[in-house]
Amino acid sequence: MSVEITFLPEERTGLVAVGSNLVDAARRLGIRVPTECDRKGECDTCAVKIEKGAHLLSSLVEAERLRLSPDRLADGERLACQVRIESPGELRIRLAPATERAETAEETASDIRKEFRDLSLSKKLSTLFELEAVTLFQTLSAISDAPFKVAEKVLDIAADRGKKLHYRERMAKQPSEKKNPSEGGEKQ
């Protein structure tokens, strides 16, 4: 069974199988739906508006109730990463414009690049020096914390080993009739 699906504003139409996720359906038609949270339903970057065929889709999930306001839900918005097509029919889906959803990391990086490109040379140099200073500080902090993290792991291992040795010593001192058969004693 298949569904005729159209993605707007691109007006791309095609057939996809019932059971498909909306992100996968879009991908099959060459449409890129942004997904910042690796399709876990932890953001709203993949929000789409269902213009036709909402009854063909899976029910709302908790992630959608948390990420989309009641107004957005009432307007027919869904998280494409969380929605499955459950019945054959016709779907019309509009991708949410960037202004109505969270900005993706790629979009943020693009904005930063544009801002940087527009700076004067002296501002670019001072910004680069500032970024290098921040990076150097973070690197030195990580290096200075490394011995403490290693020591913490070593102490955890030593403490665990000490607990096991103490347990074995206690078990060795118990009368044989109280020992567990798996600990070397026989149960009588």
DSSP three-state, residue 171: helix
Higher-confidence residue of 27 and 182: namely: 27
At residue 188 the predicted structure's pLDDT band, cuts being 50, 70 and 90, is very low
pLDDT of residue 175: 78
pLDDT of residue 182: 57
The DSSP H or E segment spanning 62 is: helix 62-67
Is 152 a residue whose pLDDT tops 70? yes
Least confident among 31-45, 62-76, 90-104, 128-142? 90-104
Please provide the DSSP assignment of 79-148 as one string: ETTT-BB-S-EEEEEEEPPGGGSPPPHHHHHHHHHHHHHTS-HHHHHHHHHHHHHHHHHHHHHHHHHHHH
pLDDT of residue 187: 46
How much of the chain, in percent, has pLDDT values that exceed 70? 88
pLDDT, tens digit, 9 for 90 and up, residues 136-149:
999 998 898 888 88
DSSP three-state, residue 50: strand
- Can you give the pTM of this predicted structure? 0.53
At residue 114 the predicted structure's pLDDT band, cuts being 50, 70 and 90, is confident
At residue 93 the predicted structure's pLDDT band, cuts being 50, 70 and 90, is very high
Is 184 a residue whose pLDDT tops 60? no
CB-CB contact of 86 with 18 (8 Å): yes
- How many angstroms separate the CA atoms of 188 and 132, rounded? 72
- How many angstroms separate the CA atoms of 12 and 31, rounded? 8
Is 84 a residue whose pLDDT tops 90? yes
pLDDT, tens digit, 9 for 90 and up, residues 13-69:
999 999 999 999 999 998 888 888 888 888 888 999 999 999 999 999 999 999 888
Which two three-digit tokens encode residue 129? 């020096």
Is 104 a residue whose pLDDT tops 80? no
- Average pLDDT along the chain: 85
CB-CB contact of 50 with 15 (8 Å): no
Higher-confidence residue of 112 and 160: namely: 160
